[in-house]
Amino acid sequence: MSEGAVREIVVLLPTHLRTLARTGRTVTLRVHEPVTRCALLDALEAAYPMLGGTIRDRKTGKRRDFIRFFACEQDLSLEPDDARLPEAVVSGSEPFMVVGAMAGG
Amino acid sequence: MSTVRVLVGTRKGAFILTSDAARQHWHVDGPHFAGWEIYHLKGSAVDPNRIYASQSTGWFGQIVQRSDDGGKTWEPVGNTFEYAGEVGTHLWYDGTQHPWGFKRIWRLEPSLTERDTVYAGAEDAALFRSTDAGKTWQELPGLRAAKGSLWQPGAGGMCLHTIVLDPVHPGRLYVAISAGGAFRSDDHGETWRPINKGLISPYELPDADADVGHCVHSIALHPRHPDTLFMQKHWDVMRSDDGGGRWHEISGDLPTDFGFPIAVHAHEPETVYVIPIKSDTEHYPPEGKLRVYRSRSGGNTWEALTNGLPQENCYVNVLRTALSVDTLPSCGIYFGTTGGQVYGSADSGDHWQAIVRDLPAVVSVEAQVLP
């Protein structure tokens, strides 16, 4: 990891957030190392301000209850905000997925 | 020739219904915000093409959208609703105190005079105001100072669902909260007082005539008689002739006095509409007959309006914000049901037609007349 280097991260958004942000299925964001979830969501909300508050609480930064974060076939939802994302995400070979939790029923 | 626009919020999106003044043939546009719950849409009286929409889901939270072209295009505006100062606590279901927490916006009420001012009613109950067309929101915390620690959520949450702006007395506005009661401000929302004298809730409150805590479902007034308020309470239809100073019951000969919405005719201040629902545990019309009740005497004496409405096997509900009138010379009246029908009448309720039948469950209906 090179401190301060810029990475291009692919983020996959759920349908409702794509519509709200008027994007396609994925967006590509430039994020400085270290690439953490917090840094990635900061970049996402800076690029798409209308997504503020829809994934995490604006004030506390806490993930909304029915939002999950998946990558590399793992659920990263409970990982610390400041943990570096998996190398495959950081290198751009795997997307970081923002997912609405299953409704059930 | 005038155009009528009916803004419909549903559990799965918003729809905009338009017609000429005859109101016989309608164009249905939507869904807007497909898949999202739309608790309320409302157009500005100052600029009818400016419309606000409250959009939310349990997954992604609250969004407020604004259109400046009559609903053709929309832009998300501010969705930061922070309670002012110390958050404080209110009564919880188990009788303990519980911190206020924002969940959603139930009601959006544009100012009658200021183009960029709009009020928002929140769950947990609080009143917010924006003076920049929805970009930023500030709480009016004087409302929660009106015994807010004694307010308690009902089964549907603790929501500020009704905002009534007085068109005559400067600075006067009313709100209603489930289950906090009705409140009035005479200084543009800075300070508030409960206006619940005369309300009796023996099955909902240990102190039946408590100062606060009543489950008020909706309030309406006629702009020419703003001191007269009509209320549909959880049970009981009520009236006040002194701006909420004192209420008296006008349920009269209604088949049941439980219900959610209430409305006043656009040109007849003593003509009132309610839609009775069987009970608080059976949220559908009595006898499976969908009937709007109209009083032309300001209450107590009611007539059933049934022409064009289903009179058998109808078990839908009509929610508190889902009844509205237009201001054309022959007053139009509209309501939406949890079964997805929107009914309209172009003759004050004498005859009805289903404008659309198969929408998602309807949460709100607001009519506008465009020149």
Domain-by-domain residue ranges, chain B?
3-370
Asked whether residue A10 is domain-assigned, the answer is: yes
Tell me which architecture the domain covering B3-370 has in CATH. Answer: 7 Propeller (2.130)
Question: Which residues constitute the domain of residue A43?
Answer: 6-100
A105 pLDDT higher than 70:
no
DSSP output for B48-113: TT-EEEEEEETTTEEEEEEESSTTSS-EE--------SS--EEE-TTSSEEE----EEEEEEE-SS
Confidence tier at A104 by pLDDT (50, 70, 90):
low
Shortest CA distance to B321 belongs to which of B284, B363, B352, B355? B363
A1 pLDDT higher than 70:
no
Confidence tier at A2 by pLDDT (50, 70, 90):
low
3-state secondary structure A26-89: EEEEEEECCCEHHHHHHHHHHHCHHHCCCCECCCCCCECCCEEEEECCEECCCCCCCCECCHHH
pLDDT in tens, A26-73: 999 999 999 999 999 999 999 999 999 999 998 899 999 999 999 999
A91 pLDDT higher than 80:
yes
- Residues whose CB is less than 8 angstroms from the CB of residue B169 and which lie 6 or more positions away in sequence, other chains included: B186, B226, B243
Q: Among residues 26-65 of chain A, which lie with CB inside 8 Å of chain B?
A: 50, 52-55, 58-59, 64-65
Asked whether residue A67 is domain-assigned, the answer is: yes
Count: domains in chain A: 1
Which of B60, B79, B100, B136 to mutate: most A Cβ within 10 Å? B60
Say which CATH number the domain at A20 has: 3.10.20.30
- CA–CA distances in Å: residue A79 to residues A74, A75, A83, B264: 11, 9, 7, 55
What average pLDDT does this structure show over A5-31?
A: 96
Residue owning tokens 């990263």: A76
Chain B hits for A15, Cβ within 8 Å:
35
Q: Tell me, what's the pLDDT at B371? A: 87
Shortest CA distance to A16 belongs to which of A77, A67, A57, A89? A67
Shortest CA gap A5–chain B (Å)? 31
Residues of chain B whose pLDDT is less than 50?
Answer: none
Residue B85: Cβ within 10 Å count: 9
A4 pLDDT higher than 90:
no
For residue B108, list its beta bridge partners: B120
Are residues B59 and A52, on separate chains, in Cβ contact within 8 Å?
no
